[in-house]
Structure 1
Amino acid sequence: MTRQSRTAWAFVAPVLAIILLVLVVPTALALALSVTDYSVYALADWANLRFIGWGNFSTLLSTPLFWRALGNTALFAAIGVPMAIGTSLLAALLLNDATVRWKPLWRVALFAPYVTSVVATATVWQFLLNTRFGLLNRGLALIGIAPVDWLGNPSLSIPAILLFVTWKIFGYNMIVFTAALSAVPHELMEAARLDGASRWARFRHVTLPAIGPTLLLAAVMSVAGFLQLFAEPYVMTQGGPSQSTVTVLYFMFDEGFKWWNLGQASAVALILFVLILALTAVQARIGRRYEWL
């Protein structure tokens, strides 16, 4: 190795060591544990640890709650990702307008929920949506509408959590889109306007292709985030009512830290890892098709 190469490796070695420690090693251990019956008994005595091959995976495939959690997670992602990206992009477009006043104030106010604690904000929303004394139901009572059990009704619990999650992560995507919109060449927009292109046509043919890579990044991050949804249902509904908000990560948490089936929990983690990896690859393929990569 040349002196320059050794210097380069010296600079990246600490980062590579951290990645190895917090990503590669835990992933390898989860893979190893997923083919064992690792449980609280193995914690006490390693002699109780047995290799069971695909036993954990076959058990999961025959567990109705796992499929329920997988369906709930898919529903969260299918509705939440377009809603989160669409609303944040719309806000970024509005704040990119030159006629809007106090832009820094709006950006700080909309970004603030993202940097606050998930548990704290979820608890606040839990009180806001409370059936008896929640502010939302008090407002509905003023116009003659009976109180709604937002978190206790299986058909309303997922929309309520989706609304909270969208509000929570809204600011991050908005800031990213705002930065991307500011980099769109003004000359292209002006040329399209002089050619008679409508506002929608300028957005469709100029703005959208220009922010394509940023849109792809937001989609990848949002999909991964919604597939790993845990804290919000854990705090707001505890997986209920009737297991309507149990997600894959919530199911994994229960298996690993409530029932101490750590081998099966590792199998769930591996399945979730493969699912996120596959969806990321699909999104990357779409990005290459539209020349966003």
Structure 2
Amino acid sequence: MANVPAREVTEASAPAAPKDHSGGRRRGRSGAWGVGFAAPHALGLALFTLVPIGIALFMSLHNWPMIGSPSWIGLDNYQELLTDPTFRTALGNTFLFVVLYVPLNLVVSLGMAAWLSPRIRHRQIFRVIFFLPTVTPIVANAVVWRMLYQPGGAIDATAQSFFGIKMPDFLADPNWAMIAIVVMSVWQGFGYNMIVFSSALDSVPESQLEAASLDGANAWTAFWRIKLPLISPSLFFATTMTLITSFQVFIQPYIMTRGGPGDSTVTLVQFIYNQGFTFQKLGLASAAAWVLFVIILGVTAVQFLGQKKWVHYE
């Protein structure tokens, strides 16, 4: 002990300082509060999303009548879908609607958002007017547009009065019925994306636009080279959500045409509805619903994988 420095002896003999566990307790309480707040949402997701998805998968593997006992048939429902001409027609009509509706919706909403710049007088009033169809019941809108499209309706009467042209019966013509539904759907839904794009455009820094103007860029060049890349996250969000909702189109063709004329406007969701509630084939309807689920999941996955090439986050 004589050779050990006094400072080391003092430190060795001194009692250890008590550990502060308050930080760990605070983190534990914070985690408990987080779990508590997330629990209702997680429970709702499980009960109203995950469980129904699992039940639909289970039903798709059975011959499941509306009344009676189900029986296991494996993948027979999916094989029947492959050979069902109505299903193939509904699948093609759905993709046609998506191909027509999504670009039109994005172009119209982005164009209107660009027009509603801060320099436009009463822009808030225009925003409300353009957004109103989005919050109006879609069934009411479909009924109104069905009356507009019919022979002698407002569109036909206006064309005959001002141009002397008799318009076709849009909803009774297989060549026009889907286009008429797309036009009505764009009018119904572009307001939501317009608000998203308008808010994104308002957040573009003026300093970058002024710098581009000093470099000789005109308004068109500034929009394509500066504004569009800066609002690409909002564009990605709007594109993804519009794609998902467009694959689920149902009310417009159901109210306006009932899927006609013939099967020219039958969509996947309407096919699912008919199989489940008209023909009482719940197993076949569940199989078609799972096909739609996989299609939407695949399209969304492609969107997320491809966003790295064109979406620019700050």
Q: TM-score range by the shorter chain?
A: over 0.9
Deviations 1:244-293 (A, max 9, x none): 00000010000001111000000011010110010001111121222446
Point out the structure with max Rg over C-alpha. Answer: 2
| Aligned partners of 1:216 and 1:292 also within 8 Å | no
Task: Determine which of 24, 38, 43 is the counterpart of 1:17.
Answer: 43
| Aligned partners of 2:143 and 2:255 also within 8 Å | yes
In the other structure, the counterpart of 1:250 is: 270
| Letter matched to residue 199 of structure 1 | A
| Letter matched to residue 166 of structure 2 | A
Matches within 5 A, 1:64-213: 64-96=85-117, 98-131=118-151, 133-142=152-161, 143-213=163-233
Change (3 A) 1:176 1:161: same
In the other structure, the counterpart of 2:62 is: 36
| Aligned partners of 1:37 and 1:263 also within 8 Å | yes
In the other structure, the counterpart of 1:45 is: none
In the other structure, the counterpart of 1:230 is: 250
Deviations 1:4-54 (A, max 9, x none): 211110011011111111111111111111111111233xxxxx2111111
Deviations 1:85-133 (A, max 9, x none): 000000000002x3311101100000000000011110000111111x3
Task: Determine which of 76, 99, 119 is the counterpart of 1:55.
Answer: 76
| Letter matched to residue 159 of structure 2 | L
Could you say what secondary structure the match of 2:62 adopts? coil
Q: How many residues align?
A: 286
| Aligned partners of 1:230 and 1:247 also within 8 Å | yes
What is the CA–CA distance in structure 2 between the aligned matches of 1:289 and 1:39, rounded to whole Å? 47
Could you say what secondary structure the match of 2:119 adopts? coil
Change (3 A) 1:217 1:195: same
Aligned-residue CA RMSD (Å):
1.2
| Aligned partners of 1:68 and 1:246 also within 8 Å | yes
Could you say what secondary structure the match of 2:71 adopts? coil
| Letter matched to residue 123 of structure 1 | V
| Letter matched to residue 5 of structure 1 | G
| Aligned partners of 2:65 and 2:283 also within 8 Å | yes
What is the CA–CA distance in structure 2 between the aligned matches of 1:183 and 1:105, rounded to whole Å? 20
| Letter matched to residue 63 of structure 2 | D
What is the CA–CA distance in structure 2 between the aligned matches of 1:292 and 1:31, rounded to whole Å? 38
| Aligned partners of 1:88 and 1:170 also within 8 Å | yes
List 4+ stretches of structure 1 deviating above 3 A. none
| Aligned partners of 1:152 and 1:241 also within 8 Å | yes
| Letter matched to residue 35 of structure 1 | L
Instruction: Please give the TM-score of this superposition, normalised by the length of structure 2.
Output: 0.89
Which stretch has the larger CA shift, 185-194 or 160-169?
Answer: 185-194
What is the CA–CA distance in structure 1 between the aligned matches of 2:282 and 2:219, rounded to whole Å? 55
What is the CA–CA distance in structure 2 between the aligned matches of 1:140 and 1:238, rounded to whole Å? 26
What is the CA–CA distance in structure 2 between the aligned matches of 1:286 and 1:90, rounded to whole Å? 24
Q: Is 1:262 the counterpart of 2:275 in the alignment?
A: no
In the other structure, the counterpart of 1:274 is: 294
| Aligned partners of 2:204 and 2:230 also within 8 Å | yes
Which structure 1 residue ranges, 5 or more long, are not aligned? 43-47
| Aligned partners of 2:61 and 2:72 also within 8 Å | yes
| Aligned partners of 2:236 and 2:311 also within 8 Å | no
In the other structure, the counterpart of 2:22 is: none
Could you say what secondary structure the match of 1:40 adopts? coil
